[in-house]
Every structure is written in C-alpha cells, then in structure tokens.
C-alpha cells in the first residue's frame, strides 16, 4: 500500500482523500493540490540501511515516497540516478569550490521531465485513463511520448509550433500524436486542459496534474544520497512553470520529515528577465499572501518561456519557506553560461539548463555564497535538444582542404 493519504490545497489547505478518480485542483478554490503522506509509515521502511542494500539505481529506489501501488505498470526505461558532478574549476572561478552540477540530460528523453512523466504515466494506469494528453514547451511532451512508447501507448501532445526541432523530432519518432499550436505554450496548455476536460482524458499538464511534482522530487533524493545523505546548502533551479523547483523543495522536505537528512537547503529560482513571472511573484508575496504574476514571455530558453507559472504557488513557497532567493538575468548571460559550462565541465545542457549556472554566477558575484558552502545547480535538459541556440555562441569550425600541409597551416593560424 502506498503511503500517500490524500490531497491538500496549496492555497486554502482544504484536504481530500485519494479515490480511484483523479483530482486535479482544489474543489473549494481551484488552486493546485499537493500529495500528503503518512511519513511515519515511510520512515519505517526507507532507512539508510535499506538504501545501502538496494542496488536498484533509478528513481524507483525511493519507491516508498511515491503515491503508487507496488504492482502498477511503470516504464522499464532507466529514469533518474543521473550523475552529480563536482565541478570544482568552474566553481572556483566564482569563489565556490564545492559547486556541483546534476546532469539531468542523461535521462531517457534527455531532461528532468522524465521523472514527472514516470509517475504521471503510472498514475494514468491506476486511474484507468482511456487517453493520456499533455501540453509542453517540448520536453515534458517528448518525455511523456518516450515513456509511453516504452509501454506501447501513444499520447496526444500539444506544443507551440515554435518548439525546437529536436523536441518535435523526438515527439514524432516516439509515436505521439503531435498537435502543434499556432500560439504560445500557455495557449497549448489551456487547449489541452479544455479538451481533456471535455473528453475525460488524463491530463499530464505540468503543475495542474498534482502527480508531476511527485516525480520531480526524486532529483532531490538523489542529490542527498549522492552527497552521503547530506543536503547541500543551496540549490539553484531554472524556473518556468515552477513545477521543478516546487518538486525539488518537496523532495528535501520529504527526506527531512523521515530523518534521512538533518537540515534543509535554501532554494534559488533562476529566470531569464524575459520570462520572470516567478521572480516578480516572489517579490510581491509573503507566505501568508502569495500573488502570482503573469507576464508575456519571450526568452530564447524555450523550456522556461512561460507567461503564467502553473505551479506558481509551489515555486514561491519553495523560495520563501527555504529562505532562498530569486535571480534574473539576460538571455545573453544564459548563452554565456552555456558556453562556459560546456567548455569547463564537459556537460552540454540546453539554455534552460544553463540558466541555473547563469543564476549561480550572478548570485556568487553578489556574494551570496560562502566559500565552504555546497551549491548544486541543476542542468535540467540535454544540450542536443536545442542546437540552434547553442550555435549562437559555439563559434565556427576552421575549414581546410583535405591535405596535411593545408590542415597544419590552418591549425597554426587559428
Ligand atoms: C530543461 C528544462 N528546464 C527547466 C524547465 C522549467 O521547469 P518548470 O516549468 O517546472 O519550472 C523545464 C520545463 O519544461 C525544462 O524542460
Ligand atoms: Zn483550496
């Protein structure tokens, strides 16, 4: 039996039991819901000894923390247990030798979204969904399509028609029905919502579906275990809808609640100044009075280009409850960070991933971090997903004729 006991509204606190039908939002105030657990039950089973003996290196090694029954069908792909690299030289450049990067591009479809999709897919089986659908800037959809392909089903995915080619290629090749919307991600989101409501399909939409956060939190479980069951001092997360950051925060709180870590990190939200709804919302909110702002997003980091953050309350709570902070920067800084992280660490991440490094650099320059503190940046997606953006800062190769003399001359002159 799962230790999940119900839903709780993130705004008004209204609680509801789990039934065999999915509940997406609060029936009293329409806000997002979070999943509530019986932590005393998890604590009995999820011990350090259990993890020492558990050789199952993927996100399901933390099975006790998910709202899933043991026998539910899951994707057989390896999601999670991505590398956490200590990137000392990059860190030292900014006075932080204990800088780590979690390389989420190593997941099956190349982004952290596979964690969310894994739980959402399994829940769609538990709820006996007749159809799975979702809206996406590209990654959530290609992830859902990937995981669905691994169990032989085809989801319906709504994306803005401007989504990067590689993400569209993934979607099509994995066999999803791809609906490219002539409009923004937010329009695709609303369209998917309306269709799912009308036809009773399982809606995987980020933030709206309360189960996506439950998968994303697994990233924090791994960070702590990889650091020897210690939480870092800081975690820097790039933010669009705010579901990753709220999942990251929930993961740390889950581990704290069962005594697997003894302190919580501070969480930093990193956003492009061309998609800064969460930064603005944090500025205008207190924990007692959270106000979510809407903007008109235009950042080149497509995965974090969001007008209305659909897990905005969760994102604001992650920053405020953890005593963290927010940071915003130009798109140029995102590309600069992309080049720097590639050349200094060998990790190739898409612009939304390098946004966390751009945020780290900015905060380090402001003197936020102490030299002995541990900082984790999350490189949320693989660089191959958006090669056009990468090429903006990659430079050009040196052309030569296929002759040794000619090539040596070019090498010496370059
Ligand atoms: C690579 C990548 N980074 C960051 C994000 C932002 O996550 P969220 O929208 O949950 O804030 C996304 C979301 O699509 C993503 O795909
Ligand atoms: Zn409510």
- For 21, 76, 85, 391, the CA distances from 220, given in Å and listed in that order, are 28, 22, 14, 31
Give the whole-angstrom CA distance, residue 139 versus residue 352: 11
Average pLDDT, the chain: 97
**Phi then psi dihedrals of residue 239, to 5 deg:** -130, 130
Q: According to the model, what pLDDT value does residue 150 have?
A: 98
* Dihedral sign, Cα of residue 251, residue 220, residue 231, residue 56: positive
Structural domain includes residue 242: yes
DSSP secondary structure string for all residues of 372-408: T--EEEEE-BBGGGGHHHHHHHH--PPP--S-HHHHH
- CATH code of the domain containing 321: 3.40.50.1100
Structural domains in the chain (count): 1
Residue nearest to atom 15 of ligand 1 (CA): 303
Mean pLDDT of 334-339: 98
Q: Please give the torsion angle defined by the CA atoms of residues 134, 153, 161 and 379, in that order, rounded to the nearest 10 degrees.
A: 70
- For residue 65, the 8-state DSSP code is G
Q: According to the model, what pLDDT value does residue 214 have?
A: 98
Structural domain includes residue 62: no
Residue 173 β-bridge partners: none
Which of 113, 295, 382 to probe ligand 1 with, by most ligand atoms within 8 A of CB? 113
* Dihedral sign, Cα of residue 70, residue 75, residue 78, residue 81: negative
- For 69, 105, 145, the CA distances from 149, given in Å and listed in that order, are 22, 19, 6
* Residue 195: pLDDT over 90: yes
Neighbours of ion ligand 2 (CB under 5 A): 9, 11-12, 14, 26, 28-29, 31
Tell how far the Cα of 105 is from the centroid of ligand 2, in angstroms: 35
Structural domain includes residue 141: no
- For 83, 84, 107, 112, 269, the CA distances from 103, given in Å and listed in that order, are 6, 6, 9, 9, 18
Which of 220, 204, 207 has its CA nearest to residue 292? 207
* Nearest-10 crossing angle of helices 312-321, 243-257: 50
Q: How confident is the model at residue 368 (pLDDT cuts 50, 70, 90)?
A: very high
Tell how far the Cα of 238 is from the centroid of ligand 2, in angstroms: 27
Structural domain includes residue 140: no
Which of 393, 388, 353, 331 has its CA nearest to residue 168? 388
Residue nearest to atom 12 of ligand 1 (CA): 303
Tell how far the Cα of 271 is from the centroid of ligand 2, in angstroms: 27
Structural domain includes residue 106: yes
Q: What is the strand order of the sheet 84-86 is part of?
A: 84-86, 99-103, 375-379, 234-238, 266-272, 325-329
Tokens, residue 390: 């990468």
Q: According to the model, what pLDDT value does residue 158 have?
A: 97
Tell how far the Cα of 303 is from the centroid of ligand 2, in angstroms: 28
Structural domain includes residue 32: no
* Residue 186: pLDDT over 90: yes
Q: How confident is the model at residue 290 (pLDDT cuts 50, 70, 90)?
A: very high
285 Cβ partners below 8 Å, 6+ apart? 291, 316, 320
pLDDT in tens, 293-307: 999 999 999 999 999
Show the domain range for 227.
Answer: 84-110+212-394
Which of 204, 217, 238, 249 to probe ligand 1 with, by most ligand atoms within 8 A of CB? 238
Residue nearest to atom 10 of ligand 1 (CA): 243
**Measuring from each residue's beta carbon to the nearest atom of ligand 1, which residues come in under 6 Å?**
111, 113, 137, 139-140, 206, 238-245, 303-304, 350, 352-353, 380-381
Tell how far the Cα of 68 is from the centroid of ligand 2, in angstroms: 24
Which of 125, 134, 120 has its CA nearest to residue 35? 120
Which of 39, 64, 61, 65 has its CA nearest to residue 51? 61
Q: At 247, which helix (H) or strand (E)?
A: helix 243-257
Q: Tell me which residue has tokens 């609680």.
A: 15
Structural domain includes residue 174: no
* Residue 75: pLDDT over 90: yes
Q: According to the model, what pLDDT value does residue 28 have?
A: 98
Q: According to the model, what pLDDT value does residue 88 have?
A: 97
Residue 325 β-bridge partners: 268
Give the whole-angstrom CA distance, residue 394 versus residue 388: 10
Mean pLDDT of 222-251: 98
* Residue 1: pLDDT over 90: no
Q: What sections of 127-217 are H helices per DSSP?
A: 139-150, 165-173, 185-199, 212-216
Mean pLDDT of 214-233: 98
Tokens, residue 126: 């538990």
Q: Tell me which residue has tokens 């860190």.
A: 91
pLDDT in tens, 87-120: 999 999 999 999 999 999 999 999 999 999 999 9
Tell how far the Cα of 159 is from the centroid of ligand 1, in angstroms: 14
Which of 215, 380, 383, 386 to probe ligand 1 with, by most ligand atoms within 8 A of CB? 380
pLDDT in tens, 382-400: 999 999 999 999 999 999 9
Q: Tell me which residue has tokens 């590209």.
A: 138
Share of the chain above pLDDT 90, in %: 100
| Ligand closest in space to the Cα of 301 | 1
Structural domain includes residue 376: yes
* Residue 402: pLDDT over 90: yes
302 Cβ partners below 8 Å, 6+ apart? 137, 138, 162, 163, 164, 351, 352, 386
């Amino acid at each position: 039996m799962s230790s999940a006991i119900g839903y709780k509204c993130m705004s008004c606190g209204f609680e509801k039991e789990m039934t065999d039908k999915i509940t997406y939002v609060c029936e009293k105030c329409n806000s997002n819901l979070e999943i509530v657990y019986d932590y005393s039950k998890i604590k009995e089973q999820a011990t350090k000894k259990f993890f020492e003996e558990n050789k199952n290196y993927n996100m399901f090694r933390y099975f006790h923390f998910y709202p899933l029954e043991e026998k539910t069908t899951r994707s057989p792909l390896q999601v999670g247990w991505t590398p956490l690299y200590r990137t000392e030289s990059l860190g030292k450049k900014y006075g932080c030798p204990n800088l780590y990067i979690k390389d989420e591009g190593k997941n099956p479809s190349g982004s952290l979204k596979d964690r969310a999709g894994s739980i959402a897919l399994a829940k769609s089986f538990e709820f006996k969904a007749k159809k799975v659908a979702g809206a996406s800037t590209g990654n959530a959809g290609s992830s859902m399509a990937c995981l669905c392909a691994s169990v032989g089903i085809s989801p319906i995915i709504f994306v803005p028609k401007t989504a990067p080619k590689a993400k569209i290629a993934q979607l099509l090749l994995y066999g999803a029905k791809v609906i490219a919307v002539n409009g923004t991600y937010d329009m695709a989101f609303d369209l998917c919502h309306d269709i799912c409501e009308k036809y009773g399909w399982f809606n995987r939409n980020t933030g709206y579906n309360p189960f996506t956060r439950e998968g994303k939190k697994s990233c924090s479980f791994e960070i702590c275990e990889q650091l020897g069951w210690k939480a870092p001092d800081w975690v820097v997360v790039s933010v669009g809808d705010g579901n990753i950051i709220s999942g990251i925060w929930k993961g740390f709180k889950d581990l704290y609640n069962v005594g697997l870590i003894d302190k919580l990190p501070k969480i930093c939200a990193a956003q492009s100044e061309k998609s800064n709804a969460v930064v603005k919302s944090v500025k205008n909110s207190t924990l007692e009075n959270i106000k979510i702002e809407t903007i008109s997003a235009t950042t080149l980091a497509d995965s974090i280009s969001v007008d209305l953050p659909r897990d905005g309350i969760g994102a604001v709570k992650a920053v405020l409850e953890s005593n963290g902070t927010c940071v915003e920067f130009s798109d140029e800084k995102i590309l600069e960070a992309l080049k720097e992280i590639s050349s200094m660490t060998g990790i190739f991440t898409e612009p939304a991933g390098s946004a966390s490094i751009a945020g780290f650099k900015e905060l380090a320059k402001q003197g936020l971090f102490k030299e002995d503190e541990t900082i984790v940046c999350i490189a949320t997606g693989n660089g191959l997903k958006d090669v056009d953006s990468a090429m903006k800062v990659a430079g050009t190769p040196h052309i030569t004729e296929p002759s040794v003399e000619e090539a040596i001359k070019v090498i010496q002159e370059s």
